[in-house]
Amino acid sequence: RTAVSKDLPRAEQSEPLHVLLVEDNSTNLLVMRRMLVDRLHHRVVTASTFAEALTAIETGQADPFDLVL
Structure confidence by residue, pLDDT tens digits, 11-68: 555 799 999 999 999 999 999 999 999 999 999 999 999 999 999 999 977 789 999 9
For the chain, what is the mean pLDDT?
A: 86
How many helical (H) and strand (E) elements, i.e. helices and strands, does the chain have?
2, 3
Q: Is the pLDDT at 6 greater than 60, yes or no?
A: no
Would you state the pLDDT for residue 20?
96
Q: Is the pLDDT at 8 greater than 70, yes or no?
A: no
∠ CA 19-24-28 to the nearest 5 degrees? Answer: 70
Nearest to 64 by CA among 17, 14, 32, 23: 17
C-alpha–C-alpha distance, residues 19 and 65, integer Å:
6
